[in-house]
Amino acid sequence: MAEIMILGCGFGTALGIMWDKYGHNVTAWSKYKEEIDAIRKDGEHKRLLPGVIVPPSIALTTDLSLASGKDILVFAIPSKFVREVAQSVKPYVTENTVVVNVGKGFEESTEKRLSEVLKEELPNNPIVVLTGPSHAEEVARNFPTTVVCASDDKASTEYIQDTLQNNRFRIYANSDMIGCEIGGAMKNAIALCCGIIEGMGLGDNTLAAIMTRGLAEITRLGVAMGGKRETFNGLSGIGDLIVTCTSTHSRNHRAGLLIGDGMSAEDAVARVGTVEGYNVAVIAQRIARRLDVSTPIIDQLCGVCYDGQNPRESISRLMTRPSRAEEEIF
Ligand SMILES: NC(=O)c1ccc[n+]([C@@H]2O[C@H](COP(=O)([O-])OP(=O)(O)OC[C@H]3O[C@@H](n4cnc5c(N)ncnc54)[C@H](O)[C@@H]3O)[C@@H](O)[C@H]2O)c1
Protein backbone atom coordinates (compact mmCIF):
# COMPACT_ATOMS: atom_id res chain seq x y z
CA MET A 1 0.00 0.00 0.00
CA ALA A 2 1.29 3.44 -0.89
CA GLU A 3 1.76 6.63 1.10
CA ILE A 4 -0.07 9.19 -1.03
CA MET A 5 -0.28 12.95 -0.61
CA ILE A 6 -2.87 14.77 -2.71
CA LEU A 7 -2.54 18.50 -3.30
CA GLY A 8 -5.96 20.09 -3.82
CA CYS A 9 -9.25 19.13 -2.20
CA GLY A 10 -11.69 19.28 -5.14
CA PHE A 11 -11.16 16.31 -7.48
CA GLY A 12 -8.36 15.46 -5.04
CA THR A 13 -10.92 14.66 -2.31
CA ALA A 14 -12.70 12.21 -4.61
CA LEU A 15 -9.45 10.45 -5.48
CA GLY A 16 -8.48 10.39 -1.80
CA ILE A 17 -11.78 8.78 -0.77
CA MET A 18 -11.34 6.11 -3.46
CA TRP A 19 -7.67 5.32 -2.70
CA ASP A 20 -8.32 5.31 1.06
CA LYS A 21 -11.05 2.72 0.49
CA TYR A 22 -8.52 0.51 -1.29
CA GLY A 23 -6.10 0.62 1.63
CA HIS A 24 -3.67 3.40 0.75
CA ASN A 25 -2.57 5.95 3.38
CA VAL A 26 -3.90 9.25 2.09
CA THR A 27 -3.04 12.79 3.14
CA ALA A 28 -5.01 15.60 1.45
CA TRP A 29 -3.70 19.17 1.37
CA SER A 30 -5.44 22.45 0.69
CA LYS A 31 -3.98 25.92 0.72
CA TYR A 32 -7.18 27.04 2.40
CA LYS A 33 -7.60 26.36 6.13
CA GLU A 34 -11.35 27.07 5.88
CA GLU A 35 -11.71 24.30 3.26
CA ILE A 36 -9.89 21.79 5.47
CA ASP A 37 -11.80 22.89 8.61
CA ALA A 38 -15.13 22.57 6.79
CA ILE A 39 -14.36 19.03 5.56
CA ARG A 40 -13.26 18.05 9.09
CA LYS A 41 -16.35 19.58 10.71
CA ASP A 42 -18.90 18.26 8.18
CA GLY A 43 -17.23 14.91 7.43
CA GLU A 44 -17.84 15.70 3.73
CA HIS A 45 -16.94 18.31 1.11
CA LYS A 46 -20.36 19.95 1.12
CA ARG A 47 -19.80 22.24 -1.86
CA LEU A 48 -18.17 19.77 -4.24
CA LEU A 49 -19.22 16.31 -3.08
CA PRO A 50 -22.34 16.67 -0.94
CA GLY A 51 -23.43 13.43 0.69
CA VAL A 52 -20.11 11.62 0.21
CA ILE A 53 -18.38 10.84 3.51
CA VAL A 54 -14.71 11.79 3.79
CA PRO A 55 -13.44 9.09 6.18
CA PRO A 56 -11.41 10.16 9.23
CA SER A 57 -8.59 7.88 8.03
CA ILE A 58 -7.72 10.56 5.44
CA ALA A 59 -5.33 13.06 7.03
CA LEU A 60 -6.38 16.63 6.13
CA THR A 61 -3.74 19.32 6.28
CA THR A 62 -2.54 22.76 5.21
CA ASP A 63 1.06 21.71 5.96
CA LEU A 64 3.08 21.03 2.80
CA SER A 65 6.02 19.59 4.76
CA LEU A 66 3.96 16.39 5.07
CA ALA A 67 4.86 15.73 1.42
CA SER A 68 8.25 14.56 2.61
CA GLY A 69 8.85 10.82 2.23
CA LYS A 70 5.62 10.07 0.36
CA ASP A 71 5.60 7.42 -2.39
CA ILE A 72 3.23 9.41 -4.59
CA LEU A 73 2.46 13.14 -4.73
CA VAL A 74 -0.70 13.97 -6.69
CA PHE A 75 -1.33 17.47 -8.09
CA ALA A 76 -5.10 18.07 -8.28
CA ILE A 77 -4.82 21.83 -8.65
CA PRO A 78 -6.41 24.13 -11.27
CA SER A 79 -3.89 24.74 -14.09
CA LYS A 80 -3.41 28.41 -13.14
CA PHE A 81 -1.88 27.52 -9.78
CA VAL A 82 0.16 24.40 -10.56
CA ARG A 83 3.53 26.15 -10.79
CA GLU A 84 2.93 28.17 -7.63
CA VAL A 85 2.00 25.05 -5.64
CA ALA A 86 4.96 23.11 -7.11
CA GLN A 87 7.32 25.87 -6.00
CA SER A 88 5.83 25.86 -2.50
CA VAL A 89 6.04 22.09 -2.07
CA LYS A 90 9.48 21.73 -3.72
CA PRO A 91 11.59 21.99 -0.51
CA TYR A 92 9.76 18.98 0.98
CA VAL A 93 9.63 16.61 -1.99
CA THR A 94 11.79 13.51 -1.65
CA GLU A 95 13.75 12.42 -4.72
CA ASN A 96 12.05 9.04 -5.20
CA THR A 97 8.51 10.37 -4.91
CA VAL A 98 6.52 9.86 -8.11
CA VAL A 99 4.64 13.03 -9.01
CA VAL A 100 1.23 12.52 -10.63
CA ASN A 101 -0.72 15.31 -12.32
CA VAL A 102 -4.49 15.02 -12.71
CA GLY A 103 -5.04 18.71 -13.58
CA LYS A 104 -6.03 19.60 -17.14
CA GLY A 105 -4.95 22.65 -19.08
CA PHE A 106 -1.88 24.62 -20.12
CA GLU A 107 0.08 27.27 -18.25
CA GLU A 108 -1.17 30.55 -19.70
CA SER A 109 2.03 32.63 -19.65
CA THR A 110 4.27 29.94 -21.20
CA GLU A 111 1.70 27.77 -23.11
CA LYS A 112 3.43 24.75 -21.53
CA ARG A 113 1.76 21.47 -20.71
CA LEU A 114 1.36 20.97 -16.96
CA SER A 115 3.83 18.07 -16.92
CA GLU A 116 6.42 20.42 -18.43
CA VAL A 117 5.73 22.93 -15.66
CA LEU A 118 6.11 20.21 -13.03
CA LYS A 119 9.31 18.89 -14.65
CA GLU A 120 10.82 22.38 -14.48
CA GLU A 121 9.94 22.81 -10.83
CA LEU A 122 10.62 19.22 -9.69
CA PRO A 123 13.40 18.09 -12.07
CA ASN A 124 14.52 15.18 -9.91
CA ASN A 125 11.16 13.44 -9.77
CA PRO A 126 9.40 11.24 -12.32
CA ILE A 127 6.24 12.96 -13.58
CA VAL A 128 3.20 10.90 -14.59
CA VAL A 129 -0.04 12.19 -16.08
CA LEU A 130 -3.31 10.52 -15.00
CA THR A 131 -6.20 11.60 -17.19
CA GLY A 132 -9.42 10.46 -18.83
CA PRO A 133 -13.19 10.42 -18.23
CA SER A 134 -13.39 10.67 -14.44
CA HIS A 135 -15.86 13.05 -12.82
CA ALA A 136 -15.12 13.62 -9.14
CA GLU A 137 -18.75 12.96 -8.21
CA GLU A 138 -18.57 9.44 -9.65
CA VAL A 139 -15.01 8.53 -8.63
CA ALA A 140 -15.95 9.39 -5.02
CA ARG A 141 -18.97 7.08 -5.26
CA ASN A 142 -16.86 4.25 -6.64
CA PHE A 143 -18.59 4.10 -10.04
CA PRO A 144 -16.58 2.02 -12.55
CA THR A 145 -14.13 4.42 -14.20
CA THR A 146 -11.35 4.00 -16.76
CA VAL A 147 -8.44 6.42 -17.15
CA VAL A 148 -5.00 6.46 -18.73
CA CYS A 149 -1.57 7.15 -17.27
CA ALA A 150 1.41 8.33 -19.29
CA SER A 151 4.95 9.41 -18.63
CA ASP A 152 8.34 9.64 -20.30
CA ASP A 153 9.51 7.00 -17.84
CA LYS A 154 8.04 3.54 -18.50
CA ALA A 155 8.83 2.22 -15.01
CA SER A 156 6.95 5.10 -13.37
CA THR A 157 3.97 4.64 -15.69
CA GLU A 158 3.80 0.96 -14.74
CA TYR A 159 4.23 1.75 -11.05
CA ILE A 160 1.30 4.19 -11.10
CA GLN A 161 -0.84 1.80 -13.14
CA ASP A 162 -0.18 -1.10 -10.76
CA THR A 163 -0.42 0.91 -7.54
CA LEU A 164 -3.35 3.23 -8.13
CA GLN A 165 -5.77 1.03 -10.05
CA ASN A 166 -8.39 -1.16 -8.43
CA ASN A 167 -11.49 -3.08 -9.46
CA ARG A 168 -13.52 0.16 -9.84
CA PHE A 169 -10.79 2.43 -11.22
CA ARG A 170 -9.01 0.83 -14.15
CA ILE A 171 -5.86 2.50 -15.45
CA TYR A 172 -4.53 1.93 -18.97
CA ALA A 173 -0.90 2.81 -19.72
CA ASN A 174 0.01 4.98 -22.70
CA SER A 175 3.47 6.02 -23.91
CA ASP A 176 2.19 9.24 -25.54
CA MET A 177 2.31 11.72 -22.68
CA ILE A 178 1.95 14.74 -24.98
CA GLY A 179 -1.19 13.42 -26.70
CA CYS A 180 -2.79 12.38 -23.39
CA GLU A 181 -2.27 15.83 -21.89
CA ILE A 182 -3.50 17.72 -24.93
CA GLY A 183 -6.70 15.66 -25.15
CA GLY A 184 -7.44 16.32 -21.46
CA ALA A 185 -6.75 20.03 -21.74
CA MET A 186 -8.57 20.76 -24.99
CA LYS A 187 -11.78 18.83 -24.37
CA ASN A 188 -12.79 21.41 -21.77
CA ALA A 189 -13.05 24.06 -24.49
CA ILE A 190 -15.28 21.82 -26.61
CA ALA A 191 -17.43 21.02 -23.53
CA LEU A 192 -17.87 24.74 -22.98
CA CYS A 193 -19.11 25.01 -26.59
CA CYS A 194 -21.57 22.14 -26.01
CA GLY A 195 -22.96 23.90 -22.93
CA ILE A 196 -23.39 27.09 -24.94
CA ILE A 197 -25.25 25.17 -27.66
CA GLU A 198 -27.62 23.63 -25.14
CA GLY A 199 -28.10 26.99 -23.44
CA MET A 200 -29.11 28.43 -26.83
CA GLY A 201 -31.80 25.76 -27.10
CA LEU A 202 -30.16 23.97 -30.04
CA GLY A 203 -30.27 20.20 -30.29
CA ASP A 204 -28.48 16.88 -30.61
CA ASN A 205 -27.42 17.41 -34.22
CA THR A 206 -25.49 20.54 -33.33
CA LEU A 207 -23.93 18.88 -30.26
CA ALA A 208 -22.77 15.92 -32.34
CA ALA A 209 -21.34 18.30 -34.92
CA ILE A 210 -19.34 20.24 -32.33
CA MET A 211 -18.06 17.09 -30.58
CA THR A 212 -17.00 15.40 -33.82
CA ARG A 213 -15.47 18.44 -35.50
CA GLY A 214 -14.06 19.45 -32.10
CA LEU A 215 -12.24 16.12 -31.91
CA ALA A 216 -10.84 16.73 -35.41
CA GLU A 217 -9.58 20.09 -34.20
CA ILE A 218 -8.06 18.64 -31.00
CA THR A 219 -6.36 15.92 -33.06
CA ARG A 220 -5.01 18.40 -35.61
CA LEU A 221 -3.53 20.65 -32.96
CA GLY A 222 -2.38 17.72 -30.79
CA VAL A 223 -0.48 16.08 -33.66
CA ALA A 224 1.15 19.42 -34.55
CA MET A 225 2.26 19.68 -30.90
CA GLY A 226 3.85 16.22 -31.00
CA GLY A 227 1.03 13.88 -29.89
CA LYS A 228 0.15 10.64 -31.70
CA ARG A 229 -3.01 10.67 -33.76
CA GLU A 230 -4.32 7.38 -32.28
CA THR A 231 -4.14 8.74 -28.71
CA PHE A 232 -7.03 11.09 -29.52
CA ASN A 233 -9.24 8.05 -30.19
CA GLY A 234 -8.58 6.77 -26.66
CA LEU A 235 -9.69 7.57 -23.11
CA SER A 236 -7.81 10.85 -22.86
CA GLY A 237 -9.22 12.02 -26.20
CA ILE A 238 -12.68 10.95 -27.29
CA GLY A 239 -13.37 9.33 -23.88
CA ASP A 240 -12.85 12.52 -21.92
CA LEU A 241 -14.59 14.54 -24.64
CA ILE A 242 -17.74 12.42 -24.36
CA VAL A 243 -17.91 12.55 -20.57
CA THR A 244 -17.34 16.29 -20.37
CA CYS A 245 -19.61 17.28 -23.25
CA THR A 246 -22.57 15.15 -22.20
CA SER A 247 -22.61 15.46 -18.43
CA THR A 248 -24.17 17.96 -16.10
CA HIS A 249 -21.30 17.39 -13.60
CA SER A 250 -18.92 19.38 -15.83
CA ARG A 251 -18.36 22.97 -14.76
CA ASN A 252 -17.37 23.78 -18.36
CA HIS A 253 -20.75 22.54 -19.48
CA ARG A 254 -22.56 24.45 -16.70
CA ALA A 255 -20.79 27.71 -17.56
CA GLY A 256 -21.65 27.14 -21.23
CA LEU A 257 -25.36 26.77 -20.41
CA LEU A 258 -25.32 30.22 -18.76
CA ILE A 259 -23.46 31.81 -21.69
CA GLY A 260 -25.84 30.23 -24.21
CA ASP A 261 -28.72 31.63 -22.17
CA GLY A 262 -27.32 35.15 -22.55
CA MET A 263 -24.94 35.69 -19.61
CA SER A 264 -21.52 37.16 -20.40
CA ALA A 265 -18.69 34.61 -20.32
CA GLU A 266 -16.92 36.53 -17.59
CA ASP A 267 -19.99 36.48 -15.33
CA ALA A 268 -20.67 32.80 -16.06
CA VAL A 269 -17.11 31.84 -15.09
CA ALA A 270 -17.29 33.96 -11.94
CA ARG A 271 -20.51 32.16 -10.97
CA VAL A 272 -19.39 28.57 -11.73
CA GLY A 273 -15.76 28.61 -10.45
CA THR A 274 -12.96 26.64 -12.14
CA VAL A 275 -13.84 26.58 -15.88
CA GLU A 276 -10.69 25.22 -17.51
CA GLY A 277 -12.25 25.47 -21.01
CA TYR A 278 -12.42 29.26 -20.71
CA ASN A 279 -8.71 29.43 -19.80
CA VAL A 280 -7.56 26.87 -22.35
CA ALA A 281 -9.42 28.31 -25.36
CA VAL A 282 -7.28 31.41 -25.63
CA ILE A 283 -4.04 29.48 -25.04
CA ALA A 284 -4.99 26.85 -27.63
CA GLN A 285 -5.75 29.61 -30.13
CA ARG A 286 -2.32 31.17 -29.59
CA ILE A 287 -0.58 27.80 -29.99
CA ALA A 288 -2.63 27.02 -33.12
CA ARG A 289 -1.73 30.34 -34.73
CA ARG A 290 1.94 29.80 -33.94
CA LEU A 291 1.88 26.30 -35.47
CA ASP A 292 -0.36 27.38 -38.37
CA VAL A 293 -3.14 24.93 -37.45
CA SER A 294 -6.75 25.66 -38.32
CA THR A 295 -9.04 25.68 -35.23
CA PRO A 296 -12.36 27.22 -36.35
CA ILE A 297 -14.36 26.10 -33.31
CA ILE A 298 -11.77 27.35 -30.82
CA ASP A 299 -11.62 30.65 -32.74
CA GLN A 300 -15.38 31.12 -32.46
CA LEU A 301 -15.30 30.17 -28.76
CA CYS A 302 -12.63 32.81 -28.15
CA GLY A 303 -14.84 35.35 -29.94
CA VAL A 304 -17.72 34.53 -27.58
CA CYS A 305 -15.59 34.36 -24.41
CA TYR A 306 -13.26 37.30 -24.94
CA ASP A 307 -14.81 39.63 -27.56
CA GLY A 308 -18.46 39.57 -26.54
CA GLN A 309 -19.46 37.86 -29.82
CA ASN A 310 -23.03 36.53 -29.99
CA PRO A 311 -22.96 32.68 -30.06
CA ARG A 312 -25.57 32.71 -32.87
CA GLU A 313 -23.13 34.66 -35.01
CA SER A 314 -20.45 32.05 -34.19
CA ILE A 315 -22.68 29.17 -35.31
CA SER A 316 -23.44 30.98 -38.59
CA ARG A 317 -19.75 31.52 -39.24
CA LEU A 318 -18.98 27.84 -38.64
CA MET A 319 -21.84 26.71 -40.88
CA THR A 320 -20.83 28.92 -43.80
CA ARG A 321 -17.12 28.13 -43.94
CA PRO A 322 -15.75 27.02 -47.34
CA SER A 323 -16.68 23.40 -48.19
CA ARG A 324 -14.25 20.67 -47.16
CA ALA A 325 -13.82 16.90 -47.47
CA GLU A 326 -14.35 15.11 -44.15
CA GLU A 327 -11.22 12.98 -44.45
CA GLU A 328 -9.15 16.14 -44.87
CA ILE A 329 -8.27 16.25 -41.14
CA PHE A 330 -4.93 18.02 -41.55
N1 LIG B 1 -13.58 17.99 -10.82
C2 LIG B 1 -13.40 16.92 -11.58
O3 LIG B 1 -14.28 16.08 -11.72
C4 LIG B 1 -12.08 16.73 -12.29
C5 LIG B 1 -11.82 15.49 -12.88
C6 LIG B 1 -10.61 15.29 -13.53
C7 LIG B 1 -9.68 16.33 -13.58
N8 LIG B 1 -9.97 17.52 -13.01
C9 LIG B 1 -8.96 18.57 -13.11
O10 LIG B 1 -8.36 18.73 -11.84
C11 LIG B 1 -7.98 20.11 -11.65
C12 LIG B 1 -8.62 20.58 -10.37
O13 LIG B 1 -10.01 20.57 -10.57
P14 LIG B 1 -11.04 20.70 -9.36
O15 LIG B 1 -12.36 20.40 -9.93
O16 LIG B 1 -10.57 19.89 -8.22
O17 LIG B 1 -10.89 22.27 -9.09
P18 LIG B 1 -11.31 23.13 -7.81
O19 LIG B 1 -11.62 24.49 -8.29
O20 LIG B 1 -12.34 22.38 -7.05
O21 LIG B 1 -9.96 23.26 -6.98
C22 LIG B 1 -9.30 22.16 -6.44
C23 LIG B 1 -8.48 22.55 -5.24
O24 LIG B 1 -7.36 23.32 -5.65
C25 LIG B 1 -6.96 24.11 -4.56
N26 LIG B 1 -6.78 25.49 -5.02
C27 LIG B 1 -7.68 26.31 -5.58
N28 LIG B 1 -7.12 27.51 -5.83
C29 LIG B 1 -5.84 27.43 -5.41
C30 LIG B 1 -4.75 28.34 -5.38
N31 LIG B 1 -4.88 29.61 -5.78
N32 LIG B 1 -3.59 27.90 -4.88
C33 LIG B 1 -3.46 26.65 -4.42
N34 LIG B 1 -4.46 25.75 -4.40
C35 LIG B 1 -5.63 26.14 -4.90
C36 LIG B 1 -8.03 24.02 -3.49
O37 LIG B 1 -7.60 23.14 -2.47
C38 LIG B 1 -9.20 23.40 -4.21
O39 LIG B 1 -9.98 22.60 -3.40
C40 LIG B 1 -8.47 20.86 -12.90
O41 LIG B 1 -7.42 21.04 -13.78
C42 LIG B 1 -9.52 19.93 -13.49
O43 LIG B 1 -9.63 20.07 -14.89
C44 LIG B 1 -11.13 17.74 -12.34
Residues within a 6 A CB radius of ligand 1: 8-11, 30-32, 35, 48, 76-79, 81, 85, 102-105, 134-136, 273-274, 276
Length of the chain equals 330
The C-alpha atoms of residue 301 and residue 314 are separated, in whole angstroms, by 8
**Residue 11 Cα to ligand 1 middle (Å):** 6
Domain spanning 185-319: which CATH class is it, in words?
Answer: mainly alpha
Confidence grade of residue 34 (pLDDT, cut at 50, 70, 90): very high
Pocket test for ligand 1, best of 5, 7, 11 (most atoms within 8 A of CB): 11
The SS3 of residue 258 is helix
Closest atom of ligand 1 to CA, residue 135: 3
Predicted pLDDT of residue 6: 98
Catalytic (active site) residue 187: yes
Dump pLDDT digits (tens) for 272-316. 988 989 999 999 999 999 999 999 999 999 999 999 999 999 999
DSSP character at residue 238? I
The mean pLDDT value for 102-113 works out to 95
Question: In this model, does residue 17 exceed pLDDT 70?
Answer: yes
Which CATH fold topology does 3-175 show?
Rossmann fold (3.40.50)
> What per-residue confidence (pLDDT) applies to 329?
66
| Per-residue pLDDT tens over the stretch 130-162 | 999 999 999 999 999 999 999 999 999 999 999
**Residues above pLDDT 90, as percent of the chain:** 95
Mutation probe of ligand 1 site: the residue of 34, 39, 74, 274 with most atoms within 8 A of C-beta: 274
Residue ranges per structural domain of the chain = 3-175, 185-319
pLDDT tier, 330 (very low <50, low <70, confident <90, very high otherwise): low
CA distance 25 to 230: 36
Write out pLDDT tens, residues 48-82: 999 999 999 999 999 999 999 999 999 999 999 99
pLDDT in tens, 182-229: 999 999 999 999 999 999 999 999 999 999 999 999 999 999 999 999
Task: Name 100's Cβ contacts closer than 8 Å, sequence gap at least 6.
Answer: 72, 73, 74, 75, 127, 128, 129, 130, 149, 160, 164
220-234: pLDDT as tens digits:
999 999 999 999 999
pLDDT the model gives residue 114: 97
The DSSP H or E segment spanning 151 is strand 145-151
